[in-house]
Amino acid sequence: MNIFKFGGASVNSAEGVKNFVKIVQSYKDETIIVLSAMGKTTNALEEITDQFCAKSDLVETKFQEVKSFHLNIINELFTNKEDAVYEKVNRLFDQLHAYLQREPTLDYDFDYDQIVCFGELVSTTIVSEYLRLSGSPNKWIDIRTCLKTDNTYREGKVDWELSQKLVPQAFSFDSTFVYVTQGFLGGTTTNQSTTLGREGSDYTAAILSYILDVDKLSIWKDVPGIMNADPKWLEDAEKLDRISYQEAIELAFYGAKVIHPKTIQPIKRKKIPLQVRSFIDYSESGTLISTASKQMEKQLPVYIRKQNQVLISIRPSDFSFILEENLSSLFALFAKHRMKVNLTQNSAISFSVCVDKSERRLKNLLDEISQDFEVKYNDDVELITIRHHDDDAVERMTAGRDILLEQRSRDTAQFVII
């Protein structure tokens, strides 16, 4: 049994959906397809959520834009305008529209999940129906009924015990060879929609792989595999043919956007090989992540850039030392405001921390920290991480830039720079 995960970029147009079907049909094994929302739909639904919560009149226009984007793709794919896909997709958009007519609940994260989930519900419906039309019978599964999470909206924590019971029942392969389901989504025990964190479809694929003990997980991307840098940033980036689970965890942890950080742990635990490969050159083998750690033969430096970072410098207002009590109260605040800490460093009387710039959460965090500490911060800095660094690699990343903070270990060098 295989699991294939396809992201939004692979199905951002009718052409993309046709290419996807070609890939799926070239495999004859039992397969579960985990799919994200089409193109940039999640971003658009995030905007709708913001407008909905702000009670803005723009909601309707944006909703119609998202709906037209999908209907245009359907119109290109389905010549028979009586096809069941129209009714199914329209029904989903009617449900979303009905939600948008309500009053916001005052819980932004809850509303976010109830709105944003439609991206994946619609994309999987279209793709499942188009596979059927193309001669591949398949079953559409609403993942919210079996991948159960708690009610931490926007970052649902998986209820492994319950999911382990429900997922195998849902994907029993007793009446089909192919399943199509949503990445990124989960459901609470009271059947509210949840999401697993942005770009969480890779993680969904890993959860299902773990629970169902699959032979292999393939994640299809718009790049040849995992490269030693984002090729959209460094044109001379090279593909890594094989890497170990450990290395993949490190790269994702430091922010290599190609794979969601939570993806590797579940598949590592069961030693399930993961192939990251191209949906464009689909005969190429991509990058294999496995235990066999004939790892990165050349040990190329790997460059990871995180933009939109904020470097916060914190001092106790009474000039006392930064001790355990201060640190633990600060970390509690970061956790409370769900700010991801990317790098920390402390001296005797100050503590520096580099975090993702997330306007809504950052402001609340800074307001609270300022009650007990003096706070300064640098906006819009970059965090550059180099795995397997050497002098040339460091020079390449830092020449002509202002280094605000630097940390090096044997394997990893990190720089906060402007």
Ligand X SMILES: Nc1ncnc2c1ncn2[C@@H]1O[C@H](COP(=O)(O)OP(=O)(O)O)[C@@H](O)[C@H]1O
Interacting stretch for ligand PHD, rule CB under 6 A, among 22-30, 36-44, 228-236, 386-394? 36-44
Site string for ligand X, 199-218 (x = CB under 6 A): x-------------------
Q: Helix and strand tally (H, E) in the chain?
A: 13, 16
Q: Examine residue 159 and tell whether it contacts ligand PHD (CB under 6 A).
A: no
226 binds, among ligand X, ligand PHD, none (CB under 5 to 8 A by kind): ligand X
CA distance 192 to 60: 23
Q: Which of residues 324-363 bind ligand X (CB under 6 A)?
A: none
Q: Examine residue 183 and tell whether it contacts ligand PHD (CB under 6 A).
A: yes
Site string for ligand X, 7-36 (x = CB under 6 A): xxxx-------------------------x
Member of 258, 264, 274, 393 binding ligand X (CB under 6 A): 258
What's the min distance (Å) between Cβ of 258 and ligand X?
4
Element (H, E) at 365: helix 359-369
Tokens of 352: 């520096």
Member of 30, 60, 230, 238 binding ligand X (CB under 6 A): 230
Q: Examine residue 199 and tell whether it contacts ligand PHD (CB under 6 A).
A: yes
What's the min distance (Å) between Cβ of 354 and ligand PHD?
22
256 touches 226 (CB < 8 A): yes
CA distance 316 to 351: 9
Q: Examine residue 221 and tell whether it contacts ligand X (CB under 6 A).
A: yes
21 touches 131 (CB < 8 A): yes
Q: Which of residues 31-60 bind ligand X (CB under 6 A)?
A: 36
Tokens of 269: 């635990």
**94 CB burial (10 A radius; 0-12, 13-18, 19+):** exposed
Q: Examine residue 383 and tell whether it contacts ligand X (CB under 6 A).
A: no
Q: Examine residue 312 and tell whether it contacts ligand X (CB under 6 A).
A: no
Residue that the structure tokens 């799926």 belong to: 24
Q: Examine residue 226 and tell whether it contacts ligand X (CB under 6 A).
A: yes
Residue among 19, 5, 16 nearest 38 (CA): 16
Member of 97, 198, 361, 388 binding ligand PHD (CB under 6 A): 198
CA distance 200 to 5: 11
Number of residues that bind ligand PHD (CB under 6 A): 12
Q: Examine residue 186 and tell whether it contacts ligand PHD (CB under 6 A).
A: no
183 binds, among ligand X, ligand PHD, none (CB under 5 to 8 A by kind): ligand PHD
Give the 3-state secondary structure percentages of the chain, helix then strand then coil, rounded to 5: 40, 25, 35
Number of residues that bind ligand X (CB under 6 A): 17
Tokens of 346: 């402390």
Member of 223, 248, 312, 397 binding ligand X (CB under 6 A): 223
**Per-residue 3-state assignment (H helix, E strand, C coil) for 221-282:** ECCCCCECCCCCCCCCCCECCEEEHHHHHHHHHCCCCCCCCCCHHHHHHCCCCEEEEECCCC
Pairing assessment for the beta strands 403-408 and 341-346 based on DSSP bridges? unpaired
**Residue 271 Ramachandran class (φ > 0 left, ψ -120 to 50 alpha, else beta):** left
CA distance 53 to 73: 29
The smaller minimum CB distance to ligand X, of residues 49 and 287, is found at: 287
What's the min distance (Å) between Cβ of 355 and ligand PHD?
19
What's the min distance (Å) between Cβ of 310 and ligand PHD?
21
Query: Can you give the binding site for ligand PHD, defined by CB under 6 A?
Result: 7-8, 36-37, 42, 119, 183-184, 198-201
Query: Can you give the binding site for ligand X, defined by CB under 6 A?
Result: 7-10, 36, 199, 221-223, 226-227, 229-230, 232, 256-258
